[in-house]
Amino acid sequence: MTEIQSLLKLQELDMKCRDLETALRELPVRRQIDVLEEDLSTLRERLSCANQELNQARKEQKHEEWEIKDITMTISSISQKLYGGLVSNPREIENMRTRLDTFEVTKGKLEDGVIGIMEKVEALESEITDVNSGISRKEIELGKLTQKRDLEITDISAKLTDAIEERKRLQSVISDPLIRKYEQLAQDRGGFAVAPIRGNLCGGCHVALPSSIVILAKPNDRIVRCENCGRILCWQE
Ligand SMILES: [Zn+2]
**What CATH number did the domain enclosing 61 receive?**
1.10.287.1700
- Whether residue 5 is contained in a domain is answered as no
Please report, rounded to a whole number, the percentage of residues in the chain having pLDDT higher than 70.
Answer: 100
Please, which pLDDT band fits residue 87 given cuts at 50, 70 and 90?
confident
Do 136 and 182 share a structural domain? Answer: no
Instruction: Give residue 85's pLDDT.
Output: 82
- Which residues contact residue 17 at a Cβ distance below 8 angstroms, ignoring those fewer than 6 apart? 160, 163, 164, 167
Distance 6 CA to ligand 1 centre (A): 19
* Number of structural domains found in the chain: 2
Distance 175 CA to ligand 1 centre (A): 23
- pTM of the model as a whole: 0.74
CA-closest candidate to residue 205, choices 179, 226, 224, 182: 226
Instruction: Give residue 134's pLDDT.
Output: 98
Distance 17 CA to ligand 1 centre (A): 24
Instruction: Give residue 173's pLDDT.
Output: 95
DSSP annotation string for 213-226: HHHHHTT--S--B-
Which of 122, 141, 172 corresponds to the end of one domain?
Answer: 172
Distance 193 CA to ligand 1 centre (A): 10
Instruction: Give residue 88's pLDDT.
Output: 86
Distance 216 CA to ligand 1 centre (A): 15
Instruction: Give residue 237's pLDDT.
Output: 83
E strand or H helix that includes residue 30: helix 28-83
Distance 177 CA to ligand 1 centre (A): 21
**Structural domain for 43, as ranges:** 13-172
- Which residues contact residue 227 at a Cβ distance below 8 angstroms, ignoring those fewer than 6 apart? 209, 210, 213
Distance 124 CA to ligand 1 centre (A): 71
DSSP H helical segments within 1-27, as ranges?
3-25
Distance 1 CA to ligand 1 centre (A): 23
Which of 172, 197, 217 corresponds to the end of one domain?
Answer: 172
63-84: pLDDT as tens digits: 999 999 999 999 999 999 988 8
Please, which pLDDT band fits residue 167 given cuts at 50, 70 and 90?
very high
Distance 237 CA to ligand 1 centre (A): 18
Distance 180 CA to ligand 1 centre (A): 20
Query: Which phi and psi (to 5°) does residue 208 adopt?
Result: -65, 135
